[in-house]
């Protein structure tokens, strides 16, 4: 079974400051990793994904994440946030096997960007 | 840009009633999913569907739940006899292939059971 831990339920940050949202996972098999963003009253939008290859993954809206297998982490970063980045961010994993391809989500981190 | 759509956006029902939540996945996608998010909690997997059959389901997806692809475009989730604890946001998702692993989510249906 897989699990995802997002330790920070809320992260306040000032506009133009850097931010890191933490994600750790647990799995007995190799996994694929994802970050999704949810704006108020909207569905989930994929920010970025790690399937294989380079451990540094770049996504939309200037976000990037680094896969660290030894620390079982996939932290999300952005060097300079904007007010429009205020949203809920979900880390998710999917294991390599199985036909169902289900995503297991973390509890989410609310990013609040302030002026 | 193609997107997953869901109807209705909000459904209010009485306990014990049947509800059907509807989704139109992206047209060339082959894999379909339902997830739910109880208010304040994490998004949880319910079921995945491929080639007209369930490929995986969670413990939540008991006999009260069923899924169907009644035609070439719609994908539905039916809850036969709703309970108060079924109140949640229900998300439909679809993906083109297993290999690229990207699931596209709809905006959700908020189900309120009174």
Cβ of B42 within 8 Å of Cβ of A105? The answer is yes
Beta strand extents in B18-87 (DSSP E only): 19-24, 31-37, 43-50, 53-57, 65-68, 75-79
CA pair distance B114, B104, nearest whole angstrom: 30
Cβ of A42 within 8 Å of Cβ of B91? The answer is no
| Contacts with A, B 59-88, CB within 8 Å | none
Q: Which residues on B lie below 8 Å from A49 (Cβ)?
A: 101-102
At residue B94 the predicted structure's pLDDT band, cuts being 50, 70 and 90, is: very high
Say which residue, B64 or A27, is predicted with more confidence: B64
B51 in contact with A, Cβ within 8 Å: no
Residue numbers of chain A with a pLDDT score lower than 50: none
Torsion angle, CA of B10/B2/A59/A78, rounded to 10 degrees?
Answer: -40
B7 in contact with A, Cβ within 8 Å: no
Q: Which residues on B lie below 8 Å from A30 (Cβ)?
A: none
Q: Which residues on B lie below 8 Å from A44 (Cβ)?
A: 43, 91, 93, 105
B100 in contact with A, Cβ within 8 Å: yes
Residue that the structure tokens 């970063």 belong to: A77
Residue that the structure tokens 């009633």 belong to: B17
At residue B102 the predicted structure's pLDDT band, cuts being 50, 70 and 90, is: confident
CA pair distance B71, B96, nearest whole angstrom: 18
At residue B65 the predicted structure's pLDDT band, cuts being 50, 70 and 90, is: very high
Say which residue, A40 or B33, is predicted with more confidence: B33
Percent of chain B with pLDDT over 90: 75
At residue B41 the predicted structure's pLDDT band, cuts being 50, 70 and 90, is: confident
Cβ of B101 within 8 Å of Cβ of A99? The answer is no
Q: Which residues on A lie below 8 Å from B48 (Cβ)?
A: 99-102
CA pair distance B86, B101, nearest whole angstrom: 28
Q: What is the model's pLDDT at position B13?
A: 97
Cβ of A42 within 8 Å of Cβ of B107? The answer is yes
Q: What is the model's pLDDT at position A100?
A: 56
């Amino acid at each position: 079974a897989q699990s995802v831990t997002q330790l920070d339920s809320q992260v306040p940050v000032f506009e133009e400051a850097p931010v890191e949202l933490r994600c750790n996972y647990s799995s007995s098999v190799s996994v694929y990793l994802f970050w999704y963003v949810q704006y108020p009253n909207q569905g989930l939008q994929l920010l970025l994904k790690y399937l294989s290859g380079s451990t540094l993954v770049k996504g939309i809206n200037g976000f990037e994440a680094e896969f660290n297998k030894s620390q079982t982490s996939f932290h999300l970063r952005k060097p300079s946030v904007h007010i429009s980045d205020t949203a809920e961010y979900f880390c998710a994993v999917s294991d390599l096997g199985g036909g169902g391809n289900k995503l297991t989500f973390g509890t989410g981190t609310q990013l609040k960007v302030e002026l | 840009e193609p997107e997953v759509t869901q109807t209705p956006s909000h459904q209010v029902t009485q306990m014990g009633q049947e509800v059907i939540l509807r989704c139109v996945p992206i047209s060339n996608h082959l894999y379909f999913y339902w997830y739910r998010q109880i208010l304040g909690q994490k998004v949880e997997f319910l079921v995945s569907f491929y080639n007209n059959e369930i490929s995986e389901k969670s413990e939540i997806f008991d006999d009260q739940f069923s899924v169907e692809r009644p035609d070439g475009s719609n994908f539905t989730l039916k809850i036969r006899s709703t309970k108060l604890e079924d109140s949640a946001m229900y998300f439909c998702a679809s993906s083109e292939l297993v290999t690229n692993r990207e699931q596209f989510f709809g905006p959700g249906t908020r189900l309120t059971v009174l």
